Every structure is written in C-alpha cells, then in structure tokens.
Amino acid sequence: MSARPFEGQHALVTGGSRGIGAAISRTLAGLGAKVFINYVERDAPAQALLAELRAAGHQAELIRADIGEPDDVRELCRFVAERTSKLDMLVLNAGATVFRHAHEFTPAHFDWVMRTNVGSVFTLVQGLLPLLEGHGARVVTLSNGAAVRFMERNALFGAAKAAIEQLTRLLAVELGPKGVRFNCVRPGTVATDVLQVRPDLAAYLEKERTRGLGGNTTPQDCADAVALLCSAQAARITGQVLVVDGGVSLG
Ligand SMILES: NC(=O)c1ccc[n+]([C@@H]2O[C@H](COP(=O)([O-])OP(=O)(O)OC[C@H]3O[C@@H](n4cnc5c(N)ncnc54)[C@H](OP(=O)(O)O)[C@@H]3O)[C@@H](O)[C@H]2O)c1
C-alpha cells in the first residue's frame, strides 16, 4: 500500500483548524491530499496549522466561512471550485453545541444548532455536488454519542447528530449512483477545546479511561477512522456509522 494513497486528491475539512478537525487535516495532508481547511473565527490556530503543514511539505489552504450561513457556504463552494474541478473527500466535521437542559432552549438556540449541524450538510453537499459526483468521492460526517443515548444537557445537539447520522444513510443511497460514498464517524469523548467548559471533564475522562480498551479517545483516533473510511480499502462501505470510542459506549 502506498504511503501517500491520497496523492493528487483534494479534501475539504470543515472546522479543520482545531481539535478533531485539525487531526483530520494533518492526517489527510500527510497521506498526500491537498487540504482545504475551513474555520470560522480564530485566525491564529488556523494560520499555525497552515504553516506547520506547509513546513512539512504538504499542500493546504485556509478558507474562513461559517457553515451555518448559506451565503458563506456559497463562497466556500466557489473557493473550492476555483481551485479544483474534483473534490475527492469532504469531511463535515464542524459542529455547533449549546449545553442546556431541554426546557432551557430558545427558538434561537434551536435555529442555530439545527442550521449549523444539519442544514450545513445539505448546503455543502448541494453546493459541492458538481465537484463530488462521478469519480468516487467520499463524504464523512461526524456524530456524537448523544445521537443514540441520553447525555446530560445535550438534547438539542443529540437530535441534530441523530439527524446527521440518518442523513448520512439517506444520502448514501440517493447519491450512491453518482459514485459518492457517505459514512459517519461517531467518536467517544475527546478532550478538545469545546469540552473545556465542562467542570467535571477531568473526572469524566478518568471514568472513561478505565473502561473498554482503556485510555481516552484522541483526535488522531478519529482522524484515522476518517482516513480509513476514505481509503480504497473501504470502497464497498457506505451509509455506515463507525463508533470510535475504545468500546466505552458498549458498557
Ligand atoms: N470532542 C468530543 O468529545 C466529540 C465527541 C463526539 C463528537 N464530536 C464531534 O466532532 C466534531 C469536532 O469536534 P471538536 O471537539 O474537535 O470541536 P472543536 O474543538 O470545537 O472544533 C473547532 C473547529 O470547528 C470550527 N468551527 C466551529 N464552528 C464553525 C462554523 N460554524 N463554521 C465553520 N467552522 C466552525 C472552529 O473554527 P474556529 O477555530 O475559527 O472557531 C475549529 O476549526 C464535531 O462535529 C463534534 O460534535 C466531538
């Protein structure tokens, strides 16, 4: 197997500048792809990652866009289309979370969480379809355990992630004839910036560390799963949700 199986291919990673997305950007670039790294607000980590990848001899470009804003998504799609006629990998990684009890959600929370997590799957796939169809492209979405079980203060986010999982299956069937594979990665708890708001994070990670295979799930574990689903070896895998949590969610 080639050390750079994605040589000559193009990938777009939404939210690709920090956390799990940064590991995905690094991994796909390391495997030879040119990576378009999307982010929304924080220039510094995005610029640092770009410099790191280019210093390592990889190809990458940054594109700032809020995936929850259809005008931004149009610009993002135009940016990619100006640089390549074929997008080989689309990783829909960026997510929007509001940690609240179900009775505390406002209509604005509902609109933002659904638009950013679920609406963006439609707008990005629709906008990029001309670049995805007809040449074996792979789309990978990111879910969360709240899609399938109760997680404290995660009702709205869990509903959005459940929609993403089902959309992954539906799009796999609908767009399979166009040669596009759709799969989803559902990671366990990964200690990225977004979780630092949890006052119980250390205790939570410690509890998980002792279960299943032991240890905690890392951004690299998730990135490796994305690369696996994008690989030629996964050519017959579509419409699936791959759980990456060391067995923690099984008991
Ligand atoms: N961490 C976990 O435990 C965990 C577990 C299961 C699933 N997941 C899922 O994995 C994915 C990545 O999670 P993470 O923990 O790595 O998140 P994170 O650290 O919060 O990811 C931040 C990245 O997303 C970008 N971003 C945020 N909102 C965006 C928007 N509206 N448009 C474009 N980019 C946006 C950020 O850009 P800026 O830097 O500009 O803000 C940054 O690049 C999410 O879908 C999440 O639900 C995470």
d(CA 11, CA 116): 20
- 60-64: strand order across its sheet: 60-64, 34-39, 10-13, 89-92, 138-142, 181-187, 240-244
Ligand 1 contact via 141 beta carbon (within 6 Å): no
Mean pLDDT on 25-44? 98
- Contact at 8 Å (CB) between 190 and 19? yes
pLDDT at 120: 98
pLDDT at 2 over 90: no
Give how far Cα 91 sits from Cα of 25, 152, 153, 185, 212, Å.
9, 27, 26, 10, 27
Q: Is the pLDDT of residue 1 over 80?
A: no
User: Does the beta carbon of 18 lie inside 6 Å of ligand 1?
Assistant: yes
**If you take atom 42 of ligand 1, which residue's CA is the nearest one?**
15
- Give how far Cα 236 sits from Cα of 12, 181, 193, Å: 22, 9, 35
Q: What is the pLDDT of residue 60?
A: 99
**Does the pLDDT value for residue 103 go beyond 80?**
yes
Question: CB of 25 closer than 6 A to ligand 1?
Answer: no
Among 142, 153, 161, 245, which residue has the most ligand 1 atoms within 8 Å of its CB, making it the best to mutate?
A: 142
pLDDT on residue 168: 98
Distance of CA 201 to the CA centre of its chain: 22
Ligand 1 atom with minimal separation from the 21 CA: 16
Pocket of ligand 1 contains residue 42 by CB under 6 Å: yes
What's the chain's average pLDDT?
97
> What Å distances lie between residue 92 and 141, 165, 170, 250, CA to CA?
5, 12, 16, 25
Residue 111 C-alpha to ligand 1 middle, in angstroms?
18
Please, which pLDDT band fits residue 204 given cuts at 50, 70 and 90? confident
Residue count of the chain, please give it. 251
pLDDT value at 195 more than 90? no
The angle at the Cα of 226, spanning 68 to 177, to the nearest 5 degrees, equals 80
The neighbouring-strand residues paired with 242 are 185
Q: Is the CB of 234 under 6 A from ligand 1?
A: no
Using CA atoms, how far apart are residues 216 and 176, in angstroms rounded to an integer?
Answer: 34
| pTM of the predicted structure, to 2 decimals | 0.98
> 40 CB less than 6 Å from ligand 1?
yes
* pLDDT, tens digit (0-9, with 9 covering 90-100), for 118-151: 999 999 999 999 999 999 999 999 999 999 999 9
* Fold observed for domain 10-242: Rossmann fold (3.40.50)
The pLDDT of residue 251 is: 86
- pLDDT average, residue stretch 213-238: 98
188: pLDDT strictly greater than 80:
yes
Under DSSP, is residue 202 helix (H, G, I), strand (E, B) or coil?
Answer: helix
How many other CB atoms are there within 10 angstroms of residue 156's CB atom?
A: 23
Whether 43 has a pLDDT exceeding 80, the answer reads yes
pLDDT in the model for residue 199: 83
Position 65 scores a pLDDT of: 98
Measured CA to CA in angstroms, residue 196 lies from 131, 159, 205 at distances of 37, 22, 12
Q: Is the pLDDT of residue 52 over 80?
A: yes
Give the nearest ligand 1 atom to 45 CA: 39
Pocket test for ligand 1, best of 35, 36, 40 (most atoms within 8 A of CB): 40
